[in-house]
């Protein structure tokens, strides 16, 4: 047990527990008939929400490292991103198979008719290359292009938030209906994206340095022997 905790950090353990337990709970609820009156819709919604949550968490790693200097977050981005992709894939498979029974012409018709689904499809298609190239071997192979490719996340995250908000019934301007939750996700995404702008990054880094200096000054200084 001791060696387990030496090998994995608490953050790593927490991420994997979230990643798998959400899926296990979903399967338990599905097989015990513990979903809503519309189980397929419930599955679609829950997998979609896990996907966007994990995507937002992966997006949070870089700005939070810049702000708090918590370097481990950078190492955990990949796991969070891959879990987001896993849930997005299950979400899409549920849509294609359970919801539409692989009726491709109906699927295409729905995609064309509902703009929020077009946005979902676009974001999923962009997630695919990111997931497959997230491993070190691809980082080496693609060189500078790897970073360029992975910057797609700045486009994908707002698109997913749009997909979420657009699919909901509600009044955007009066903040009524089911629009609040998607708006919270969208606001968090916007904050994290702003925190990545070079000027903002610089300002945050200098604020962090000032806080560190302030704390060091407050720490009791060791007494120096006069002799
Ligand atoms: C081929 C791509 C996609 C299709 C066809 C698709 C389809 C759908 C559909 C039909 C719904 C509405 C479910 C309902 O309320 O009845 C939905 C909702 C949602 N989708 Fe997608 N989606 C796609 C991609 C994605 C991706 C890539 C993400 C996230 C990474 C995502 C996240 C969500 C979220 C958060 C919701 C709202 C869940 C809720 O109502 O609580 N979707 N999607």
Ligand 1 pocket: which of 167, 184, 189 to mutate (most atoms <8 Å of CB)? Answer: 167
Please state, in angstroms and rounded to a whole number, the distance separating the CA atoms of residues 53 and 157: 10
User: For atom 27 of ligand 1, which residue has the closest CA?
Assistant: 124
The answer, yes or no, to whether any atom of ligand 1 lies below 6 A from the CB of 192, is: no
Query: Using CB atoms within 10 A of its CB, is residue 46 exposed (0-12), middle (13-18) or buried (19+)?
Result: buried
From 57, 163, 186, mutation site for ligand 1 pocket: most ligand atoms within 8 A of C-beta: 163
**Tokens, residue 163:** 């997909």
- pLDDT at residue number 12: 97
* Average confidence score pLDDT of the chain: 92
**Residues 29-67: pLDDT tens digits?**
999 999 989 999 999 999 999 999 999 999 999 999 988
Section 70-78 average pLDDT = 95
For the cut 70, the answer to whether the pLDDT of residue 175 exceeds it is: no
Which ligand 1 atom is at minimum distance from the Cα of 96? 5
Question: What span, in angstroms and rounded, lies between the C-alpha atoms of 219 and 215?
Answer: 6
Q: What is the Cα–Cα distance from 75 to 77, expressed in whole angstroms?
A: 6
Q: Whose alpha carbon is nearest atom 41 of ligand 1?
A: 45
> To the nearest whole percent, how much of the chain has pLDDT over 70?
92
pTM of the model: 0.92
Q: Give CA angle at 191 (149, 83), nearest 5°.
A: 50
Q: For every residue of the chain, which 3-state class applies, written as one string?
A: CHHHHHHCCHHHHHHHHHHHHHHHHHHHHHHCCCCCCCHHHHHHHHHHHHHHHHHHHHHHHHHHHHHHCCCHHHHHHHHHHHHHHHHHHHHHHHHHHHHCCCCHHHHHHHHHHCHHHHHHHHHHHHHHHHHHCCCHHHHHHHCHHHHHHHCCHHHHHHHHHHHHHHCCCEECCCCEECCHHHHHHHHHHHHHHHCCCHHHHHHHHHHHHHHHHHHHHHCCCCCCCCC
Taking the C-alpha atoms of residue 101 and residue 126, their distance in angstroms, rounded to an integer, is 24
Q: Where does the pLDDT of residue 4 fall: very low under 50, low under 70, confident under 90, or very high at 90 and above?
A: confident
Q: Is the CB of 62 under 6 A from ligand 1?
A: no
45, 178 Cβ separation under 8 angstroms: no
Segment 151-176 mean pLDDT: 87
Which has more pLDDT, 12 or 227? Answer: 12
* Residue 222 scores a pLDDT above 70: no
Residue 24 confidence (pLDDT): 98
Per-residue model confidence (pLDDT) at position 172: 66
Q: Using a 6 Å cutoff on CB, does residue 52 contact ligand 1?
A: yes
Q: Between residues 68 and 185, which one has the greater pLDDT?
A: 185
Please report the pLDDT score of residue 209 as a whole number: 85
Q: How far is the CA of 114 from the centre of ligand 1 (A)?
A: 12
**Cα 8 to averaged position of ligand 1 atoms, centre (Å):** 33
83-106: pLDDT as tens digits:
999 999 999 999 999 999 999 999
């Amino acid at each position: 047990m001791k060696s387990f905790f030496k090998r994995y950090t608490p953050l790593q353990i927490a991420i994997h527990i979230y990643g798998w337990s959400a899926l296990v709970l979903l399967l338990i609820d599905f097989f015990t008939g513990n979903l809503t009156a519309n189980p397929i819709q419930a599955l679609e919604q829950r997998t979609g929400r896990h996907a966007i949550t994990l995507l937002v968490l992966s997006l949070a790693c870089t700005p939070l490292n810049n702000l708090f200097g918590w370097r481990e977050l950078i190492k955990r981005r990949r796991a969070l991103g891959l879990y987001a992709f896993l849930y997005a894939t299950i979400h899409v498979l549920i849509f294609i198979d359970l919801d539409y029974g692989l009726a491709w012409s109906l699927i295409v018709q729905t995609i064309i008719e509902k703009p929020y689904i077009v946005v979902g499809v676009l974001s999923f298609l962009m997630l695919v290359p990111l997931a497959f190239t997230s491993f070190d071997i691809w980082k080496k192979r693609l060189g500078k292009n790897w970073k360029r490719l992975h910057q797609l996340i700045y486009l994908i995250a707002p698109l997913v938030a749009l997909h979420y908000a657009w699919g909901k019934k509600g009044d955007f301007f009066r903040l009524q209906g089911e629009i609040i939750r998607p708006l919270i996700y969208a606001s968090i995404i916007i904050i994290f994206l702003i925190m990545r702008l070079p000027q903002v990054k610089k300002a945050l880094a200098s604020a962090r340095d000032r806080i560190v200096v302030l704390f060091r000054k407050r720490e009791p200084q060791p007494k120096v022997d006069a002799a």
